[in-house]
Amino acid sequence: MSQSTMRINKTSQSQLAKVDFEHLDFGKYVSDHMVVANYTNGKWQDAEIIPYGDLPMSPAMLSLHYGQSVFEGMKAFKMMDGNINIFRLKKHHARLNKSLARMCMPEISEAMFTNALSELVKLDHLWVPGTDGASLYIRPVVFASEARLGVKISDTYKFVIMTTPVGPYFSKPYKLKVEDHYVRTAEGGTGFAKCAGNYGGAFYPTLVAKDEGFDQVLWTDHKDHQYIDEVGMMNVMFVMNEKLITPALNTAILDGVTRDSILSLARQMNFPTEERKISLTELEEGLQNGSLTEAFGVGTAAVVAPIQSIRIHGNDYTIPLPDDNSFQVRVKNHLLDIRTGEVEDRNDWNYIIKVK
Ligand SMILES: *Cc1c(COP(=O)(O)O)cnc(C)c1O
C-alpha cells in the first residue's frame, strides 16, 4: 500500500479551503480527486487518479439507455489516533462484484479496488472530517460506456470513485406507509443489486407517499404485499419481545453492510436475533399489543433511522421514540466506537490508511 504504481495527476486548484466543515450538507462538496479506470479489450486497464471533474461521454452511451450502472456507498472515518479507517471495505467490494455480475458487467479484483481506493483516500485525507460522527462518504460507480444505439451488453465500462465529506447524519424519525400497490423490485429481479434502475423505479411511489404526508414507504413483497422487505433505501429492523427481528435476505432485498454489522454486534451483545419473514399481520399485532418496542431503518448514510409511525391498511400506529437505553442507540454508538478505534475491532472490519 505504501509504494504506489498508480498514475496520479494532482490538482493544481484544491477546493479544500472552500469547505465549511461545520455545515456539511450531504454531497455538497466533492473532494479534489477521483479514480478512473476503463474496461476495454476484455480487461480492466490500470486505474488512475485525476482531478475531480466532468468526463466526456456520447449520448449513445449504453448505460444511459439500457441501465448497466451499479454503485456502492461506503464511509471512511478519522480515527482517534489520526489515521483513517475505510469501514468494511472487503464486504463493499464483494457486494459491488455481486451487483456487477447481475448486470452482466465485468467484476473488479479486490486488489484493484483496494489499491485505487486507498490511494485516493490517502491523497485526499485532509477531506476526511474529524468531528464526531462525521465521515468521508465514498461513491464507487461502474457504468457501461460503449456508444452504440442497439440493445446489447456493453463491451466497455468505466469505474469511477468519488468522495464527499459528510456531517453526522441524524435522521428525523420516519412516518411510514406500508406500500401495498407499487413494488421496488420482485424476487428474481435486481433488488439485491445496487443498480441505478432500482432507484429510478422507487422515486415515483416515494413521491406519492410524500405527497400524502409520509417520509418513506415500507416495501412489501411483490406477490401479496404481505411480507416486509425494506424501508425506503434502507434495510428495516424491529425489536419485538426483546428480540431483534429483520427480514431474511432474498433476491428482492439488498444485502446491507449496516444490516450485517448490526446483526453481528447484536449477537456479540447477547441480544437475540431472528432473520425471517415478517408479515404485516405480525407487525400489526406487535404494534397493537405493545410487544413491538422499536422500529428503525439501517444503512451507511444514517446508520440508524428511527421510525415513529406506520400506516397499515389505513390504520396509523405509533412507535415510542428511542432513548439512551434503546437497542438502536446502543448499537449505533457501539458501531461508531469501533469505527474510530475507541473499542476493539473484533470482527476485522476496519481497513486502516496510515496518514500519521
Ligand atoms: C444501499 C442500500 C441499503 C443499505 O446498505 P448499506 O450497505 O448498509 O449501506 C439498503 N437498501 C437498499 C435498497 C440500498 O440500496
Q: Is 70 exceeded by the pLDDT of residue 2?
A: no
What is the pLDDT averaged over residues 326-334?
A: 97
Q: Is 90 exceeded by the pLDDT of residue 330?
A: yes
Let me know if 12 is exposed, middle or buried by CB neighbors in 10 A (0-12, 13-18, 19+): exposed
- Structure confidence at residue 33 (pLDDT): 98
Angle subtended at Cα 301 by Cα 67 and Cα 69, rounded to the nearest 5 degrees: 10
Residue 46, CB half-sphere, CA atoms under 13 Å: how many?
8
Q: Which triple of cell numbers denotes residue 110? A: 479486490
Ligand 1 mean position, distance from CA 255 (Å): 7
State pLDDT tens for residues 7-66.
Answer: 999 999 999 999 999 888 888 899 999 999 999 999 999 999 999 999 999 999 999 999
| Residue % of the chain over a pLDDT of 90 | 94
How far apart are the C-alpha atoms of 5 and 3, rounded to whole Å?
7
**Of 72, 190, 254, 265, best ligand 1 pocket probe by most atoms within 8 Å of the beta carbon:** 254
- Structure confidence at residue 1 (pLDDT): 46
Q: Which triple of cell numbers denotes residue 137? A: 462518504
Ligand 1 mean position, distance from CA 220 (Å): 16
Q: Which triple of cell numbers denotes residue 118? A: 486507498
Cβ neighbours of 303 (radius 10 Å): 26
Cβ contact 127:33 at 8 Å: no
* 312, β-bridge pairs: 315
Cβ contact 136:165 at 8 Å: yes
333: which residues sit within 8 A by CB, 6+ positions away? none
Q: Is 80 exceeded by the pLDDT of residue 208?
A: yes
How far apart are the C-alpha atoms of 10 and 8, rounded to whole Å?
6
Count the helix, strand and coil residues of the chain and give each as a percent rounded to the nearest 5: 25, 30, 45
Q: Is 50 exceeded by the pLDDT of residue 147?
A: yes
Task: Give the residue, by CA position, lying nearest to ligand 1 atom 5.
Answer: 256
Residue whose grid cell is 404485516: 280
In degrees and rounded to multiples of 5, residue 89 shows phi and psi of -55, -45
Ligand 1 mean position, distance from CA 233 (Å): 6
- Structure confidence at residue 5 (pLDDT): 76
Cβ contact 31:164 at 8 Å: yes
State the closest ligand 1 atom to the C-alpha of 301, by its place in the atom list counted from 1.
Answer: 9
Q: Is 90 exceeded by the pLDDT of residue 79?
A: yes
Angle subtended at Cα 252 by Cα 303 and Cα 332, rounded to the nearest 5 degrees: 10
Give residue 3's pLDDT band: very low, low, confident or very high (50, 70, 90).
low
List, in sequence order, every beta strand (DSSP E) within 13-170.
33-40, 43-44, 48-51, 69-71, 74-78, 84-87, 135-144, 157-166
Give residue 133's pLDDT band: very low, low, confident or very high (50, 70, 90).
confident
pTM across the whole model? 0.96
State pLDDT tens for residues 230-283.
Answer: 999 999 999 999 999 999 999 999 999 999 999 999 999 999 999 999 999 999
What is the pLDDT averaged over residues 186-197?
A: 97
Ligand 1 mean position, distance from CA 70 (Å): 13
Angle subtended at Cα 323 by Cα 237 and Cα 212, rounded to the nearest 5 degrees: 55
Q: What is the residue type of 25?
A: D
Residue whose grid cell is 447481475: 102
Ligand 1 mean position, distance from CA 203 (Å): 15
247 lines ligand 1 (CB under 6 A): no
Helix (H) or strand (E) holding 196: helix 196-211
How far apart are the C-alpha atoms of 62 and 155, rounded to whole Å?
10
What is the pLDDT averaged over residues 207-228?
A: 97
121 lines ligand 1 (CB under 6 A): no
User: Which domains are seen in the chain, by residue range?
Assistant: 3-166 (3.30.470.10), 174-322 (3.20.10.10)
| Residue % of the chain over a pLDDT of 70 | 99
Give residue 4's pLDDT band: very low, low, confident or very high (50, 70, 90).
low
State the closest ligand 1 atom to the C-alpha of 74, by its place in the atom list counted from 1.
Answer: 9
